[in-house]
Chain A
Amino acid sequence: MTLSHSRKAFPLFLLLILSTTSIQHAVAQPTTGEVRGKVVDASTNEPLIGAQVSIRDTKTGTTTTISGEYVLRRLEPGEYTIIARYIGYKSLSRVVKVQAGVTASADFALTPTTVQADELVVTGVGTATEKRRLSAPVDAITQEQIERTPTNSIDQLMQGQVAGVSIGMASGLPGTGSRIQTRGVKSAVANTLPIVYVDGVRVDVGDNFGVGTGGTVSSSLAQLVTGEIERIEVVRGGAGATLYGSQAANGVIQIFTKKGKAGQTRFKVAAQTGVDSPELKFIPDDFPPSLLFQNGFFQQYTANINGGADNVTYNISGSARSNRGFLSKDQAQDELQNVAAGVRAILSDKLDAEFSTSFIRNSFGRVNQGNNIFSLLGGLTTGNNFRSNTIAAAGTDNRDSLFSIWQLPEYREDVNRSINSLTFGFNPFKEFSNKLTVGLDYNKREARFQTPIQTSQAFGAAPTALGTIVRSDREFLQLSLNYVGSIKLPDFGPVSNTISLVGEGIRNNERVIGGTGTGLAAGTRDFDQSGTVTGFEGGSGIFFGGIAIQDQIGISNNIFLDLGLRLDVSTAFGRDVATVFAPKVGASINLSDFDFYPESMKSILSSVKLRGAYGRAGNTPPPFTRDRTFGAPSFLGTAALTFANPGDPTLKPEITTTIEGGFDAGFFNDRVSLEFTYSDARTTDALFAVPNDPVTGLGNQLRNVGGLANLVFELSLKANVYQAENVDIQARLNFSSVYAVITNMTDANGRPIPDFAAGGFAFAGLRIAPNRAPGAFRANRLAQEADGTFRGRIIFDQFNGAQPIPSRFGSFSFDITLFKDFSISAMAEFSWGNSVLNVLEPLRMNAGFENSLRRIPGFVSIVNAGAQPGAAVSIPGNFQSFGYFFIEDARWIKIRDITFRYRNVLSQLGIRNLVFTASVRNPIIFGTQTTGVDPEVNWARFGGDIDLGSTAGANYSAPRMWRFGLEYSF
C-alpha cells in the first residue's frame, strides 16, 4: 500500500499508516515544466527579497532570492494561478500555462499598501485564510516588526503592536512576565493571559512559580524564546477565539518559527553587545545609586544555518546570552542558552511534515522588592531602619552594616524548557487538507533562595538561627494533539463553501515540590543540612478536549460568512457538567470590490470592508475547584485535618459572548489604512468567589454566578507617509478604549454576593463589586471631625472611582528608511485611565517624611492625636487609615524603543549583508504622576489567579537596554 491509495483513510489513522508504509519518492518526471520570474517593487523597480511565490490551492511555493528571482520547478503541464505576496505590498496573482520541457515566465511588480487584505492568517479560522475574508480581526506581527524590536521576550515584543492588547510589565527583574490584557478583563478570578501556541502546540505561559521575593513571581512567558520567530498572530478573543473553546476568552497568540527557505545553504552569525542601565526616575535621590545599581554588561551570540532543497528546508539556530543585569553584585544576572531547529519537508505531493524543537536553559537572579520587609529598595525608600533621625531599628542603626545584611540574600532560578512540535499535513486531493500536530512542552524550574543570616538581625533581634534556604521545584508537562481538517466543497454558482473540522486534546500535569532549611550549617547550599527541615508538595492536572466545526461561505468573492460551533469537555468542569457549547457567526463584506463601487471613489477611499461577528469563548475553572477538599497541615508531628475547598459539582467554564463590528478602510490608493472595531463582550456564568455561611466553617467557593461586560473600541491607523526613491516614511497608531464593569453580583437565588478581593491590601484593596470596574479600589480613609480636625477615626471601605485597568492605551510608531540601507524606527506607548496604590507612602509616613505626611489633610492634628504620653516618637494615626490618600493616577508615556539599522555596512569593501544595529529599549518615561513609583511596574499577585496589578512601590523598572549588534549572512 502506498499513500497514493490512502485517500479515504481517516486522518487520525495517519500515524498508523505512516509506520507501515514507505513513502513514494517524488521523482522528477521528464514531462514537467517550470515557471521563472522576478518580483519587484512597482514604484522603484527594486527587487523584493524573500517574497512568497506560490501556486494557489497547493503546497507548492518558494521565496525570491536576493535578486528578487524565483523558480517553481517540476510542474505538471496545465494552467496555474501563481500568487506573489510580500509584507507591506498588495498581492498579485497571474495565470500561467505550463508546458512540458518549457520555462514559462511570470514577473510581478507589487505596489506598496498599508491594507493587509491579502495577508494569510491561520489563527482562529481553521485553515489559512486571507484577511479580507475575516469577520473578526486577526493581527499579525511580521518578521520586520520583530527585527526592529530589541527585546528577547515575547511579551515585550508584543508591547504596543496590537490594538486592544495592553501589556504591562509586572517587574523589570529577570524571569518575570507581563500582565497581558486583551480587550479588558473578562473574569473576576482568572488570569487575563491569552493562550499561546508555538507551531500549533499549546504552551505554558502562566505566572506560576517562585519563592516569595515581594510580589514577584516567575512567568513561563519569560522562557518562550523559540528559535527564530517568523511571525506572530494575535486573536483578541470573541468570535476569533471560539474555535479555541473554553480557555480562550482572553484570546490566542500563535507563534510560528522559521523552517528555512529552499536554495543554497545560508549562514548567519550575529553578535550583540550592550549595557543594561538602571531606570532611576523613580528611585529616591537621597542615597547613591551605585550602592544598589550597576550598568550591567550584555552580550549575545547567535549562529544560524538555513537552507534546503525544494522539498526539504531547515533552519537551525543556537544562541547564548549573558546579562549581568542592572543590580549591583550581579543580583539581576540573566543567562540563557538556546538551541532550536525547524524543518519542513514535502514528502510527496500530498504529504508534508514540519518539525520544530527548541531547548532553553535560563538561569537568573532576583532580589526582594516591593514592600517585602527585606526589600532593600523598599527599606531605602521608606527610610525605615536607615535613618537615625526617625525610628531606627532597635539593635543597630548603622546604615552600612544593615545595608550589607540586606544584600546577603541570594535568589537563583534555573529553568530548563523544551518545546516540540510535529505537524503532518495530508492533502489527498486539492480541496481536502488535513493537519495533525503532536506537541510537547516540558518545563522544569528550580529556585533557591538563600539567606545566610537570620533575617530578623536586620531588625536588631538576636540571631537565633543561622540562615535559611528555601527551595522550590516545579515540573510541568503538557502534551497536545491537534487536528485540523478542511474541505472545500464544489462551488454552487457564485457561492463557495469551505468546511473545517478541528479536534484538540490537551493534557497537563504540574507538580511543585520544595523544602526549607533553617539554621544552616556553615557554608552549606543544601537545605537539609540545617537545624530544621520542612517540605511541601502540590500538584494539579487537567485534561481539556474539544471539537469544532466551521463553515466559511463566500458569495461572489466579496461577501463572506463564517459559521462555527465548538464543543468542549474538561476535567475541570464539575461532575454534573458534561460538555459546553460555543457558537460563532460572522460576516464580512468587501464593499469596494463590488461593481457598483464607483471607480472615482477609489483614489480617496480605495478599499472598504465591513465586518461583524458574534462568538463565544470561555475560561475554564482551575483544576479541582469543583471538589470538596480538605487540608492536612503538619501540627506537632501529626497531620491536622482542616476544611479546604467547599466544592461545587455544577462548576463549568465562564462564557464570554462577544458581539463585534467594524471596518477596514484604505485611503489614497491604500497608502493609509484604518481599522476600527467595537466589541461588546459579556461574560456570563462568571466565576465569582461566593461565601458560604460561616456557620458551615467553609470558605468561599468559586461558582458560576457573576457577570462582567467589556466594551472596547480599537483603532489602528497605518500610513505610508512619504515614499520616494531614497526615502520611505511609515507611521502607525494604535489606540484602544476599554470600559469594563461588573454587571451581576447575585447568586442563583438572587441574593447579592458580597464584594470580594482581587488583590491589594485590607486598607486599600482591589475589589470585585457590582457596577464597578473589576478590581475597583476600595480604601479606608481618615474622617474629618466636626471641628475640622482629623483624629484618627477611620471611614471604612470607600470606593473612590479609581480602577486598576487602563481605560485608554495605545502606541505610536514610525519607520524611516533612507537610501534603502539605513532605517530608523521608534515606538512610544501610552496608557491612562487607571490608578495605582502607592504602598511606599504609608511607610514613608511612618518614617516621618514630611512630604508624605503633608499629603494627608490636617496631618498636624493627626500627629497631635497620635502622640501618646510617654511615647518617644509620635506616629500619625495608623496604617489602616492611609489607603485613600495614596491611590495615584497611573498614566504614563514611554518611549519603548528606538532602533537604527544599517544594512550593507561594508559594501564598499565588497562585504555584503553585514548589518549594523544600534538600539535602545525603554529610554524615556514621561507624563507620570505617581510619587516615587513606576506606574506601569506594579505587582500584588493574588493567589496566582487574577492579576490586575496596581499596587506599586519599591519595584524595579525595566532597565534602559542599550544594544549594538552586527549580523553577517553568507
Chain B
Amino acid sequence: MNIKTAFKRIFLTTLLATTALAISSCNSNPTVVDNPTITQESLVLFSGGSATQLLQGLRRQMTLCVGITSQLSAYASDDYRNIFTFLSANVDNIRALTSQDLAIAGVGGVYFRLQQLVATCDFGISNIIPADASLTAPQRQNALAQARFYKGLAILMLAENHISFPLTERGPAVPARAALDTAIAQFNAAAAGLSAPAFVPNPVFTINFITQRLALARAWRQAGNRDSAAFYAQAAINTPGSAGYAFRAQYDAQNLTNEVFPFVYTRTSRDLQVLPRLDYLDPKYTALDSPIPVLKIEEAHLILAEVELSRNNIANAKTNLRNAITAALRADSISGFPANPRIGNPNSAAVTVRADASAPAIPGLVRTRPGPITVYPTSFTSVRDTNAVGSISLGIGVSANLATANTVADLFRILYLMRQEIFFLEGRRMSDLGIRIPLMQRQLDVNPSLGVGDGLTVAAVPSYIPLGTDMDAFTGTTAVTCAVDMNRVLAANRSQVSPFPMP
C-alpha cells in the first residue's frame, strides 16, 4: 500500500466518521431546533397540568412585589434613611423621585412587578387554569380563587402607592379609587373557591376567608368606605382562627431571598439606617428566608379604630387600639438574636430618644449593638395602655400611653404610630404618609396619553411632608432628638391623611 492509498483511506474514514457524527448528533435533521425553554404551547399541552407551577409563580411574584415595596417604603418614609447603598439616592428626598429613577424605572421596580403580577394572574385565569385537565373541579375552583386573590392584592397595592395607572394595554389611567373597585371585585370573586380545600403545596400559602376578609377590609379602608371597611375588619376578627393570624410573603433561602434582610442585617456603613425611635424594631427579619407579613389580624383592629375615630367615638377607638396592642404583642419574638454592630447611628441602650423637640425623652428604644437583642418578626408596638410614658414595658420604652390620650388628634397620632410600628418593614408607611410614587418611565413612554405630572412623572408628595431628608433627621448621640414626629404631623393633617373623614 503506497502512501497515497493510505491517505485516501484516512480521508474516506474521516469523512464517513464526520458525516456519521453529524447525522447522529443532530437527531437526523440538522435543520430542526427545539426550544429547550418553556413555550406557551408546551404549557397548555403539558399533560401533568401547569396550574401548580402557575400558582407558585403567582406566589413568587407576590413575594417579589411585597419585598420591593417593603424596601422602597422603608427608605422613602421616615423609617430608614439611605446612607450609602446602590439603591436610589432620590427616594429619601422623595420630591426628587421621578419616573426615571432606578427605584421604579426598571423591571425590578414596584410598578412593573405589580403590573406583572396582574398580567400573570390574568394569563393563569384565562389560559392555564381552565386548560389544566389534571385538576378536579374543587381544585380548579380553589386555583381560580387564588389567582383572583393575587390579582386583587396586586391592584390594591398599586392603588395604595399610585394616584392612577392603566389596567389595560395602552389604556387610560384608572384612578386609584376606581381601581380599588376592581381589586374588591377580585376579592369577592375569590370567595366562591375558598370553601374548596386549599390547593397548595404548603399550608403557609393557604388563602382562607380570614385572608380574603382582611384584604377586603384593607381595600375598603383605602377606598374610604367606613361601613364596608368596618364590616370586613369585624368579619375577619369573627372568623374562627383569626387570633394571631398572619398571611405572609414567603422566601426561599436559595432562590429568592428577603430583599430587606441584607439592608437591616449586614451592618457596614453602606446601608440603610433606622430612625432611632424605631431602633428596637430593627432588624425585623433575621434570615435570608424570613417571610414578610402581608395581611395580619392587627390590621382589622387598627381599621376599626380608624373608623371609630372618624365617627368621633373616642372610647370605641381606644378599645380597638387596645385590642390592636394585644394582637401586636405576639408570642413569636426571637430573643437573644446576635445583632450586628451599628456604625453611625446611636447604638446603646443608654440613649434616650425624643420623637421631636417637644416630646418626652424615652429611654429603651435603642438597643446596644453588637449584642443579643429581641427581634419581633411579625408585630410589635411601643404603645401601652396603662404604663406611663417613659417607663419600660416588655423590655422597651413606652412611647405613648392610650390611657392618657383623649382627643381625636392624640389618638390619631397613636393610631399612625402603631401602624408605623406594627407594619414596620411591610411596605405600608410610604402610603400612610400620603406619598404616591410616579409610574415607571416605560409606562409613560409606551402610553404617552397618560400625560405628565404628580403621580405620573414625579412623586405626589403632600405639603405636610418636610422638605429634603428632614423626615429622617435627628440630632444628638446619647440624647437623641428627631427633627420631626411625622405621626404628630399626620395627626395635624388627619383629614388629608386618613381615607375616612376625620373630625
**A interface residues with partner B (beta carbon < 8 Å):** 15, 18-19, 23, 25, 309, 311-312, 343, 345, 347, 353, 355, 391, 393-394, 420, 422, 438, 440, 456, 459-462, 477, 479, 481, 505, 507, 509, 532, 534, 538-543, 545, 571, 623-624, 627-644, 691-699, 751-752, 754, 762-763, 792-794, 796-797, 846, 868-873, 875, 877-881
Contact = CB atoms under 8 A, between A and B. Distances in A.
A694 B440 contact: yes
A697 B115 contact: yes
Given A355-B11, A638-B52, A638-B56, A873 B37 contact: no
B311 interface: no
Interface in B160-187: 166-171
B442 A691 contact: yes
A693 B38 contact: no
Interface stretch (B21-29, B134-142, B209-217, B403-411): B21-29
A696 B270 CA distance: 36
Contacts of B37: 624, 627, 629-631, 644
Given A623-B33, A642-B57, A693-B170, A309 B112 contact: no
B11 A479 contact: no
B345 A641 contact: no
Contacts of A507: 22, 26, 30-31
24 contacts: A391-B343, A394-B268, A394-B340, A532-B254, A630-B39, A634-B254, A636-B250, A636-B252, A641-B56, A642-B57, A643-B123, A644-B37, A693-B170, A693-B443, A694-B111, A695-B167, A699-B107, A754-B442, A762-B106, A793-B93, A794-B96, A870-B276, A870-B474, A880-B102
Contact of B34 (A438, A541, A762, A794): A541
Interface string B469-485: 00001111100100000
Contacts of B476: 869-870
Given A630-B40, A632-B53, A695 B30 contact: no
A459 B267 CA distance: 9
B3 interface: yes
A312 B88 CA distance: 69
Contacts of B447: 693
Contact of A697 (B50, B119, B253, B344): B119
A443 to B, nearest CB: 14
Interface stretch (B78-86, B317-325, B394-402, B413-421): B78-86
A532 B289 CA distance: 14
B33 A642 contact: no
Contact of A639 (B21, B56, B254, B340): B56
B357 interface: no
Contacts of B442: 691, 694, 754
Contacts of B443: 693-695
Nearest to B440: A694
Given A462-B338, A509-B25, A627-B39, A694 B15 contact: no
Contacts of A311: 4
Contacts of B386: none
A422 B35 contact: no
Interface in B45-63: 50, 52-54, 56-57, 59-61, 63
B57 A542 contact: no
Contacts of B480: 870
A108 to B, nearest CB: 30
Of residues B116, B117, B340, which shows the largest number of chain A Cβ atoms within 10 Å of its Cβ? B116
Contact of B269 (A345, A462, A794, A875): A875
Given A694-B442, A870-B477, 10 more contacts: A18-B12, A394-B340, A438-B22, A440-B22, A507-B22, A636-B255, A641-B53, A794-B96, A868-B473, A879-B86
B464 to A, nearest CB: 21
B341 interface: yes
Contact of B19 (A438, A462, A539): A438
B10 interface: yes
A477 B167 CA distance: 46
B202 interface: yes
Contact of B60 (A440, A635, A877): A635
Contacts of B107: 699
Contacts of A505: 30-31
A489 to B, nearest CB: 31
A880 B90 CA distance: 9
Contacts of B7: 312, 343, 345, 353
Interface residues of B, number: 106
B468 to A, nearest CB: 8
Contact of A15 (B19, B82, B89): B19
Question: Top 3 closest A-B pairs, CB basis?
Answer: A697-B119, A878-B89, A641-B57
A777 to B, nearest CB: 16
Nearest to A18: B12
A569 to B, nearest CB: 8
B30 A479 contact: yes
B252 A879 contact: no
Contact of B201 (A477, A638, A643): A638
Given A462-B338, A870-B475, A641 B50 contact: yes
A873 B116 contact: no
Contacts of B477: 870
B343 A394 contact: yes
Contacts of A18: 11-12, 15
Contact of B84 (A420, A694, A796, A879): A879
Nearest to A540: B36
Contacts of A393: 268
Contacts of B188: none
A870 B170 contact: no
Contact of A695 (B35, B56, B168): B168
Nearest to B98: A796
A465 to B, nearest CB: 10
Contacts of B38: 629-632, 641, 644
Nearest to A23: B8
Contact of A628 (B40, B82, B201, B253): B40
B222 interface: no
A651 B168 CA distance: 26
A819 B337 CA distance: 82
B229 interface: no
A355 B36 CA distance: 35
A394 B119 contact: no
A881 B88 CA distance: 10
A643 B119 contact: yes
A624 to B, nearest CB: 5
Nearest to A874: B344
Contact of A868 (B8, B25, B256, B344): B344
Contacts of A542: 33
Contact of A870 (B8, B128, B269, B345): B345
A869 B475 contact: yes
A627 B33 CA distance: 12
A794 B90 contact: yes
Nearest to B54: A641
Nearest to B474: A869
A948 B265 CA distance: 37
B103 to A, nearest CB: 10
- Max count, chain A CB within 10 A of own CB: residue among B63, B84, B111: B84
B493 interface: no
B43 interface: yes
B485 to A, nearest CB: 16
Interface in B250-303: 250, 252-256, 266-270, 276
A33 B63 CA distance: 87
A422 B253 CA distance: 52
B475 A15 contact: no
B39 A695 contact: no
B39 A629 contact: yes
Contacts of B36: 538-540
A378 to B, nearest CB: 14
Contacts of B81: 868
B30 A543 contact: yes
With a 10 A CB-CB cut-off, give which of A479, A542, A797 has the most chain B CB atoms: A479
B323 to A, nearest CB: 33
